[in-house]
Structure formats: C-alpha cells, structure tokens
Amino acid sequence: MIEIDGLTKRYGDKTAVDGLSFVVEPGVVTGFLGPNGAGKSTTMRVIAGLDRPTSGTVRVNGKHYPQAPAPMAELGILLDARSVHPGLSARGNLLALARTAGIGRRRVDEVIELAGLGEVAGTRAGGFSLGMGQRLGVAAALLGQPQTVVLDEPVNGLDPDGVRWIRLLLKSLAAEGRTVFVSSHLMSEMAQTATRLVVLGRGKLITEASVEDFTGHATTAGVLIRTPEPVRLGQLLAAPGITVTNDGTDVLRVSGITAEQIGTAAWRAHLPVYELTPTHASLEEAFMQVTRDSIEYHAGATR
C-alpha cells in the first residue's frame, strides 16, 4: 500500500507536485496517468526516497520507506530514466542490487529468466536496446519480491510480446496481493491492465477513480445510433450542448443526451432506429478531457 498525504515537491521555485494526496491499495493494478510534466516521475522518485518531499508524507506499506529495515522486501521500483551501469552485465547489475539484501544467485537467475534476458545475461548492459533495458529494469524491480511494485512507463520501448508480458505480469503481481502502481502514457494499455486510476495534471490530483467510473463519467461518453434516416434524426437532436457526428453512413454518434431521450424523440418523430447503444468514452478521450480542463484552469489561474 502507498499512502501519499499532502505531498508537495519544489525544485527551486518550480513546483513539480502540489499538495498531492491519494492511496494506492494492494491487490489491484493502479494506473498513474497525466500529461508530460504532470509530476508522475517526481511522485515516484519521492515514493522511492530518492527525492525528499518539500512537505507532506509518503508511506510505503505503512512505513517511512527510507527507514525500512529490508527495503527490497517493501518496494521494487523501475524509474523512467535508465538506472543501470553500462559497464556491468545484466547479471552483474542485478547481483549488485541483490547483494544489499542478501538475495542469492538463484533468485537473480530466476528474474533473468522471468524477464526474458536469459540469452543476454552476461552481456554488458551498455549495449542494450531500450526494450532490453526496460526488461532489465523490471527484473531489478522484482528482484526482492517486494510487497509494493512501482513502475514508471514499463512498456516504453517494448515490442508487442513485451507489452503482453508486462500486462500479465502486473495482473499476476496484483493477484498475489501486492500493490502495483504503474504509470503510462498509453491509455489503451492502461485500460486493459489497470483497475484503478490516479490522474495527475500540473502536479495536482485531478481524479482518483476506477477505470470504469473514469471513462463512464467523462462527458464525451455518448450514444451510438444506427438509423436509415441519419440526417433527419441528426437535425432533430441538434441542440446547444449536444454534439452529433455522422460519418456519412447510417451511424450517428451523439453526446450530451441519454439513450432514453433519443429513443423517445425518435419515436415521436416516427423515425426508425435499428440500434441505440450507450458508449463509454475511451480512456484516452476521458484522459484528454480531464487533463485539458486542468491545464486551462491553471493557465487561467496564473494570469
């Protein structure tokens, strides 16, 4: 479990994270979303104790992480920037980390296999591709079988096979009762993997919700209508606050009005309707919408 309470982090006069509070529960995958510069990586660095909070507290599994007696049992972290020694092999990098917690070679070989690095384990990490580097970073995060796993953009640079691997890995970690907190800018990926979301914009919490709630409440959620009279029905529904789009086929996409209202209106106008389906916004649309709001809000506030 990760508990963040009133976290503020400033670098000089730049505020990277501003009064952030949220909880990441164990047992589910929690996605961490936000545009570039929203403060995701800063938050993760503070969780790992690499950066000190300007104010506020961060607890990992109920403890202050820098004082945890067995840190690798508490937290495994993959940071966005590379954090391996290019002069050491994959195995050498992992072994050096493992030694600090008395973890043996067998576990090191285990995570090497798990991450699919078996063939390059003895190769110097300096020559690794981005994808290989990511796999090595994930292997390092899993080394101590930590209770909480924090991964910053784990699918960055991974091939489709690797993306699938991460997806299954995150779900199985959560199923084991671990806390899994993962940031990504790939919304579609997050929609398939995460159960809960924490959305950040300009260093502030925008929302903390389940993926379902997040996409369901976004105002771009709408209704799909299939009708032989798309033009007439479109004109009938057009009103302020309601958007109607028609791509020239018999399908209309309408937002700002419920399926019930559409059905009643169509029935009254004697317009046939073959299909009437409420749609959720894609996570990507929902995300764009909430973050756009936050950016406008802040831009207005600073002038």
Residues 161-220, interacting with other proteins (CB under 8 A): 174, 176-178, 195-196, 206-210, 213-214, 217-219
Of the candidate residues 23, 163, 265, 271, the single one contacting other proteins (CB under 8 A) = 23
Nearer to other proteins, 110 or 250 (CB): 110
Is 83 near other proteins (CB under 8 A)? Answer: yes
Instruction: Report residue 152 as tokens.
Output: 């910053």
How far apart are CB 244 and other proteins at their closest, in Å? 20
Nearer to other proteins, 14 or 270 (CB): 14
Expressed in angstroms, the distance from the first to the final Cα of the chain is: 38
Of 77-85, 158-166, 233-241, 254-262, the segment contacting other proteins by CB under 8 A is: 77-85
How far apart are CB 35 and other proteins at their closest, in Å? 15
In the chain, alpha helices (H): 40-47, 71-74, 90-99, 105-114, 130-142, 160-175, 187-193, 211-217, 230-237, 259-268, 283-302
Is 294 near other proteins (CB under 8 A)? Answer: yes
Residue 213 CA to its chain's centroid (Å): 15
Of 156-164, 249-257, 259-267, 289-297, the segment contacting other proteins by CB under 8 A is: 289-297
Cα–Cα distances in angstroms (integers) from residue 76 to residues 21, 97, 98, 99, 274, in the given order: 21, 11, 12, 15, 52
Residues β-bridged to residue 76: 149
- Using CB under 8 A, count the residues that bind other proteins: 74
Cα–Cα distances in angstroms (integers) from residue 116 to residues 121, 127, 133, 274, in the given order: 9, 16, 12, 50
CB contact at 8 A, 48 and 65: yes
Is 3 near other proteins (CB under 8 A)? Answer: no
Residues 242-271, interacting with other proteins (CB under 8 A): none
Nearer to other proteins, 52 or 268 (CB): 52
Instruction: Report residue 269 as tokens.
Output: 């106008």
* Pairing status of strand 148-152 against strand 179-183: parallel
How far apart are CB 243 and other proteins at their closest, in Å? 15
Of the candidate residues 31, 34, 39, 71, the single one contacting other proteins (CB under 8 A) = 71
Residues 39-68, interacting with other proteins (CB under 8 A): 45, 48-52, 65-68
Between CA 46 and CA 65 the distance in angstroms is 10
Instruction: Report residue 239 as tokens.
Output: 């009103």
Nearer to other proteins, 24 or 155 (CB): 24
Q: Residue 44: what residue type? A: M
Is 27 near other proteins (CB under 8 A)? Answer: yes
Of the candidate residues 36, 81, 127, 300, the single one contacting other proteins (CB under 8 A) = 81
Residue 203 CA to its chain's centroid (Å): 15
How far apart are CB 212 and other proteins at their closest, in Å? 10
Of the candidate residues 6, 37, 86, 228, the single one contacting other proteins (CB under 8 A) = 86
